[in-house]
Structures are given as C-alpha cells and as structure tokens.
Structure 1
Amino acid sequence: MKEEEVNRCQIQEWYPKFKSVSIKTWIHELPESFVQYLLDDSGPFLLPVSISNEDALPNRIHNPEEEDDYQVVEGSDDESEQPSLPPSFPELELEIKESIASLGGAVFPKLNWSAPKDSAWISTTGTLRCSSFSEIALLLRSSDSLVHDLCHAYDSCNDKTSSRPKSFFLALRKWYPSLQPEMEFRCFVRNQNLVGISQREATTFYPSLLESKEHLGVLIEDFFMENLRSRFESENYTFDVYVTKDERVKVMDFNPWGAFTLPLMFTWEELEQNDNEQGDGVDFRIVESQCGVRPGLKTAVPYDYVDTSSGSGWDQFFRSANEELQRQSRSPEAGA
C-alpha cells in the first residue's frame, strides 16, 4: 500500500468529489494547537472552556464534597502549585457552532479517516450525536481509536515518509436519527472491480435482509458502476454505503484495501483471490441466521490490532512471547 492510496480515503479529499451522492458534511481544518490538545496525555483531562457556556455533560451531577477535596489549604505544600488552566479554542468553536446550526442542530464528528466510535459511551445519549463544540471535544479527547489517525495512519504503507498527515480536519456530518444499521454495507473493490459486499453490522442478524439481498446487490452494483468506478483513482479500496428507504444509495466512507480496514464477513485472503474479471459476479454476504453472527467485530481500533490470524502482528507477538518463555525456562537461573 502507498501513502497516496491512504490519502485518497481522507474525507476532506473524497467528499468534495462525491458530495452529490453522500450526506451533507461541513469540513474544518483543525489548528495545530487543537491537534496537540487531542494528543496531550501528560496532565489532567480538561475540556476546552466554551465561550458559549455549553456543557458537554449537561446532566452530570456535581458533588460539592468531592470538589472540596481539590481545594488547596493555605500554607500547605501544594499552595505554590498552580492548577492547570483549561484550553480554549474560540475561533474553532464559533466555526463549528455555525456549521452545527446549518446542519439542523446535530452532527456526528470524524477526523480525516476515523470517527470516535469507541467513546460514544461517554456522551449523554450513548451515541456520536453532538450539538455543541464541547460535546465534540469530549468525544475526540476520550477516543483511543483516533490515535490511529493522529499517529499511525501510514504504518501499513511501504513508502512511509511520515507518521501523520500535514493537516488534520474535522468533518461534521448531518445527524440522521432514523438511519437503520441493516442498510449499511461495506464494498470491496479489487483492480477497479467490485468483488464483494458485506453487511456492515456483522454482529447482528436482520431477517429483512434475507428477502431484499438480491435487490440490494443490484442497487449497489449499479451505484458503483455509475458513480465510483471511473472516478475514484485507486485500483484497490473499500467503500461504505447506505441504502435509503426510497432506494437511493449514499456513499458514507472510503477506506484503504487491507491494513487497518475490517474485512467484516470476509477474510482478506478470500478477497485477494476474487477479482470478478471472469464474470463470476459479486460475492454478497449477510448474516443469514442467528447462528451466523460473528462476535468481536464491534471495535473501533484498527484491524491490525485485533487480527490474530497467522502472520498477523498479534500472532508474531504471541510467538515471540512463547519463545522468550521457553528460553527463560531453559536458563540456569530458572532451575535454581
């Protein structure tokens, strides 16, 4: 994989070209000071001061007794220690507030490649729905999966020259509360041919997909041929789509082929062997029974970090750990 292939999958790169077949999105370039705020883990967890007095956790309960624990008593050894001042990004906050209003009052955020799905639990709704800058900052600052975008985006590239892109962007996407998870699919393109389609939420059985599978496959294939095949410049990549109730297909995201992208109901070995050049058709996979549910795929960390198959990073780690354990057990000190 090359850096340029990874770069094409950044939302600020592909969205302007495909916005007519995607969902409405506003994109903001992030100041480096905000990027460093997201990366900083040296001090206490502090949310930016909101110039609009908007609270990221409006329903939290303040405990005066707990707050008293943090007061410095006059004459104590800690008196000289000044408390950390919370950061503030007034210009960015005003820009984001305006974008949220223009998108109907609620958005879900993502950086260049990834959304903070792993931190949804910390929001008051348990989702990525945000209506203020403070809520967005809370999700981004609490997410471990975004470390991939910030520090490891090019780890799988054979021409890696940097650990991060020159600039980071925040994409604010219009929030649709009625989206149905069974209508989102991941599509796999090899040698510019659509070779596979997978149910995006592979941890759930949706009976309705059994009846509509064939028709959905036709809709997605037609969409790919008409809108993506000759326009997206990479030969190998994946893209996610959502099929609306009125049978319109919307592209939601692009991801590189392999590396940190989840193959969902496929394996990358299977996909590598299928190029669809012989007219075999697209392999469309859904969970066809409750017994077919694949556990463990609800993850927001890169695929490289959860893949334990032969030759994976974890497989090599376990092998090395086992070899070290055997070496130590054979050492003279072990028998002492």
Structure 2
Amino acid sequence: MREEEINRCQIQEWYPKFKSLSIKTLIHELPESFVQYLLDDYGPFLLPLSISKEDALPNRIHKPEEEEDYVVSEGSEDESEQPSSAPSFPELELQIKESIEALGGAVFPKLNWSAPKDSAWISSTGSLKCTSFSEIALLLRSSDSLVNDLCHAYDSCSNRTSLRPSSFFLALRKWYPSLRPEMEFRCFVCGQLLVGISQREVTGYYPALLERKNELQMVIQEFFMDEVRLKFDSENYTFDVYVRKDGQVKLLDFNPWGAFTLPLLFSWEELEENIIKDGNTLEFKIVDSQCGVRPGLKTAVPYDYLDTSPGSGWDQFLRNADEELRRQTQSSG
C-alpha cells in the first residue's frame, strides 16, 4: 500500500471526477482549530457553542435543574474547579448551515475517508442524519473510528512520509430516507479486475437479494466496466455502490484495498487466495440465511460496550450461529 493509493480514496479527491454518478455532496475544508478540537482527549467533552442556538439533541427532555451553570464560590483558588469554556466555530457553522439547507435540510457527515458510524447510537435519531452543525459536531466528537482518518490513515503505507493529511475535509452528503440498506454493496478490485462483491449491510438477512443475485451482479459489473475501471487510477481498491429500484447504480465511496477497509463477508486472505487460484473469477457474497448474519460488524453501540466474553449473551449467540451454519453446510453437502 502506498500513500497515493490512500489519498485517491479521499472523498475530496474522487468526488469531483465521479460527481454525476454519486449522491449530492458538498465539501468543506476544516480549519485546523476544529481538527484539534476533534483530537482533544484530555479536556472535558464539550460541544461547540452554537451561534444559531441549535441543540445537538433536540428530542431530549430538558431538566433545567441539571443544566445550571457551575458557579465557583468567591475566594476559591482551585483552578481545577473553573469551568472550561466551550469552543466556537462561527464561520464553519454558517457554511455548514448553508450547505444543509442546499441539500434539502438533512445530511450525513464524513471526513476524508470515514463516516462516524460508530457514534450513531448517541444521536437523537440513532442514525447519521443531521440537520444542524451541533448534531454534526456531536457525531464527529463522539466517534472513535474517525481517529483513523485523523491519526492513522498512512500507518500501512510502505512509502509513508506523512503522519496525517495536510488538510481535513468535511463532506456533507444528502440524506435520503428512502434508501434501503440491503441494496448497498462493496466491490473489490485487484489488478483493475472486479474480483468480489459483498452485501454491505451484513447485520440482516434479506431473502429478496437471493432472487435478484444474478441481476444485481450484472448491473454492478456493467457499472464497473463502463464508469469506474478506466477512470479510477489505482489498480487495487474497493468501491461501494447503491442499486436503485430501476437498476441504476450510484457510486457511494472508494476505499483502499486492505488497510482499514472492512472486507465484510470476505476476508482479505480469502480474496487474495481466490485471485491466485481462480484468476479473474468474480465471487458475489450475500447473507443467504439468518445464520449468516454478522452482528459484530455493525451495532448500535461502540464495540467496546459489547460483552463478548465467554458465557456472555453475545458469545452464546455467536456460538449458536456457528453451530447452525455447520449443520446447514453438512446437510447441504
């Protein structure tokens, strides 16, 4: 993996070239002060002061008695008792507000490479849908997965010369409430050949996908050959697509091959072995039974909050799923 391969997958790099094939997106360069705010792990968790007085959790029940300002008694000399002042980014907030309005009033955010999916649980909607700067700041500030973008994007590069990108960008992508998660797919390209397709939302079983598998593979292959293969400069990478009801394919994202990209229903070792063994054969994987669901790849709470220790509920669930999958495999054989 080389730095230039990682850089090509940044949304501010690929989106201008593929704008007509993707969903509506507006991109803002972030001031360094906001980047440092996202990186601050030592101070208290404070959301920026909103010049629009917008609430990051508009649906919460307010209890004024719990929101009184901390008051330091006269004569106190303990500086640790002094309340920290919340940061403010008025110019950025105004720019983001204008973009949200231009995109229909609701967006989902992502940085150069990643979206804060791991912090969706903390939002008032339980999703990445944002209607204000405050909601966006809450998701970004709460996310652990964005640390990769901020600090570790180049860790796997053989020619690493930078610790981080020179600039960070916030992409605001139009929120489409009608999108069906089962129609999103991750495509794996090696040597400019499409070698694998995986269902993107692997935490659910969707029987209708089994009936449409051949059709979906065909339209995704055609999209790759006609729109992506000769236009994206890397030889090895992944890209995510969404297939609409009418069969039209929308490009959602690019990610590097390996590195921090999830292989979903594949493993990277499996993909590489298939390339050596089968050449340019394309394998399309979907969750084909309830037992094939992968609950650990997406949850409503951060991974650290899951108890997967021996004897826990998740441990037993995964054991039962593995056992049932073995039974089905043996019976079908």
Q: TM-score, normalised by structure 2?
A: 0.86
Does the 8 Å contact 2:195/2:280 carry over to 1? Answer: no
1:172-213 superposed Cα distances (whole Å, 9 cap, x missing partner): 000000110110000000100000000111221100001000
Compared CA separation, residues 300 and 187, structure 1 to 2 (3 A): farther
**Partner residue in 2 for 1:48:** 48
Does the 8 Å contact 2:109/2:115 carry over to 1? Answer: yes
Does the 8 Å contact 1:193/1:275 carry over to 2? Answer: no
Output the CA distance in 2 between the equivalents of 1:113 and 1:90: 25
Output the CA distance in 1 between the equivalents of 2:262 and 2:300: 10
The count of corresponding residues between Structure 1 and Structure 2 is 302
Output the CA distance in 2 between the equivalents of 1:145 and 1:210: 32
**Partner residue in 2 for 1:137:** 137
Output the CA distance in 2 between the equivalents of 1:221 and 1:70: 60
Output the CA distance in 2 between the equivalents of 1:23 and 1:276: 35
Output the CA distance in 1 between the equivalents of 2:188 and 2:105: 34
User: Which is worse superposed, 194-203 or 74-83?
Assistant: 74-83
Compared CA separation, residues 206 and 97, structure 1 to 2 (3 A): same
What does 1:152-163 correspond to in 2, within 5 Å? 152-163=152-163
**Partner residue in 1 for 2:314:** none
Compared CA separation, residues 174 and 67, structure 1 to 2 (3 A): closer
Larger radius of gyration: 1
Deviating runs (4+, > 6 A) in structure 1? 276-279
Output the CA distance in 2 between the equivalents of 1:87 and 1:192: 46
Output the CA distance in 2 between the equivalents of 1:205 and 1:34: 40
Does the 8 Å contact 2:275/2:281 carry over to 1? Answer: no
Does the 8 Å contact 1:193/1:276 carry over to 2? Answer: no
**Partner residue in 1 for 2:290:** 290
Output the CA distance in 2 between the equivalents of 1:231 and 1:296: 34
**Partner residue in 2 for 1:206:** 206
1:113-144 superposed Cα distances (whole Å, 9 cap, x missing partner): 00001111111111100011111011101111
Output the CA distance in 2 between the equivalents of 1:80 and 1:23: 47
Output the CA distance in 2 between the equivalents of 1:189 and 1:231: 13
1:11 corresponds to which letter in structure 2? I
Compared CA separation, residues 4 and 280, structure 1 to 2 (3 A): closer
2:141 corresponds to which letter in structure 1? R
Does the 8 Å contact 1:48/1:137 carry over to 2? Answer: yes
Please state whether the residue corresponding to 1:52 is helix, strand or coil.
Answer: coil
Does the 8 Å contact 1:145/1:300 carry over to 2? Answer: no
Please state whether the residue corresponding to 2:297 is helix, strand or coil.
Answer: coil
2:227 corresponds to which letter in structure 1? N
1:144-194 superposed Cα distances (whole Å, 9 cap, x missing partner): 111110000001111111221000000000000011011000000010000
TM-fit CA distance, 1:254: 0.5
- Is 1:222 the counterpart of 2:222 in the alignment? yes
2:263 corresponds to which letter in structure 1? P
What does 1:123-272 correspond to in 2, within 5 Å? 123-272=123-272
TM-fit CA distance, 1:73: 2.4
**Partner residue in 2 for 1:84:** 84
1:251 corresponds to which letter in structure 2? L
Does the 8 Å contact 2:121/2:300 carry over to 1? Answer: no
TM-fit CA distance, 1:53: 1.3
- Percent of aligned pairs with the same amino acid: 78
2:13 corresponds to which letter in structure 1? E
Compared CA separation, residues 277 and 4, structure 1 to 2 (3 A): farther
TM-fit CA distance, 1:269: 1.5
Output the CA distance in 1 between the equivalents of 2:265 and 2:128: 25
Output the CA distance in 2 between the equivalents of 1:29 and 1:68: 35
Gaps of 5+ in 1: 302-336
Output the CA distance in 1 between the equivalents of 2:65 and 2:51: 27
Output the CA distance in 2 between the equivalents of 1:28 and 1:104: 17
- Is 1:93 the counterpart of 2:93 in the alignment? yes
Output the CA distance in 2 between the equivalents of 1:242 and 1:115: 17
Does the 8 Å contact 1:26/1:99 carry over to 2? Answer: yes
Output the CA distance in 2 between the equivalents of 1:242 and 1:13: 20
Compared CA separation, residues 300 and 39, structure 1 to 2 (3 A): farther
**Partner residue in 2 for 1:324:** none
Q: TM-score, normalised by structure 1?
A: 0.85
1:259-317 superposed Cα distances (whole Å, 9 cap, x missing partner): 1111111111121133499776411011111122234211699xxxxxxxxxxxxxxxx
Compared CA separation, residues 146 and 278, structure 1 to 2 (3 A): closer
2:168 corresponds to which letter in structure 1? F
Gaps of 5+ in 2: 302-333
Output the CA distance in 2 between the equivalents of 1:249 and 1:211: 18
Output the CA distance in 2 between the equivalents of 1:53 and 1:143: 23
